[in-house]
Amino acid sequence: MLNRLFASRRRPYIPHRNKREAISIDFSGNRLELSLPPHSCYDSFADLDPTSYPERVNIFDPSDYIADSGYEDWEREGVSRQCFIERSWELFGPIWHSRPIGTIDFRLILNRHDKLPSDMSCLNPQHLEQVVMRRLYYSGPCRPDYYVQLAPVNWKLYELSGVTAIFFEEHRVNPPEELKHNPHHDTYFSSSLFIPLSSEHYLSIVFRYLGYAPVKPCLTAMNSIRDSVCNSIKFQPGIDTQKQLAEAQYKWPNAKASTTREIERWIYPEWRRDGEFNSDLIITKPGSPPPAWQS
């Protein structure tokens, strides 16, 4: 209670930040464990149950995946997804402000890459790196009507029981005039951790920030929650995944992911709106092509 009473923008209060729930999910023999703070959302909907999640998931069951087939061909990454955990964690400032001043949204997503070449594998760190970079391309230049993205930022590798996982951030380019009036927009970015499960399946653990100014103490508080979750992760590959991993290591004995990466300087396409209600996005001048696969 005292933490809430003396909360400020420089030392925000995060409800139950030290109270963690142990999560354990079996993804077709691959065991993921992590610790999450309880859900906290000022504007929660009654039908949202963030504490519900399956104990076992068949990653090979195609029935629950959502494909990106609704996009135009040039926008399609070729990845099908399903989300298993959604939570929000809020930051509160001075006690006379009853509403939160910042929010972290958390997602645990299972991905199936439907366009990965047959001679490649997510269990090869070099190939997983390409999966990540193509993801950044399709969430960047292929969404030209959104903000220009700065990515990857703070690239980092995790080694989880012999499996290489990749962490990175996606920031956005905020015009100086916008930051002059809205400095908190520099807190609007996401962080992701990609963990391979099989040759074409992987998990993405995603954190999205909506923060406040001053930016530095806000990000210090938000990053402390994110990093504590990432550091709590334990992953044990199943027997089938271990066999695939051994095959990948035999086939590509020297394969490694980059330990650091610079921001990609992709050229964004020029575009305009057309059609009924300006709902169609028309490319008038193409930008950078998607990164080519390198097997």
Largest CA distance in the chain: 61
Report field, pTM of the whole predicted structure over 0.75: yes
Handedness of CA 255, 257, 258, 259 (dihedral sign): negative
Could you report the per-residue pLDDT of 182-231, keeping only the tens digit for each? 999 999 999 999 999 999 999 999 999 999 999 999 999 999 999 999 99
Could you report the per-residue pLDDT of 74-83, keeping only the tens digit for each? 889 999 999 9
Nearest to 66 by CA among 54, 48, 83: 83
State how beta strands 190-196 and 234-236 pair: unpaired
- Alpha carbons 14 and 3: distance in angstroms, whole number: 9
- Domain-by-domain residue ranges, the chain? 2-268
**DSSP state letters, 220-239:** HHHHHHHHHHHHT-EEE--H
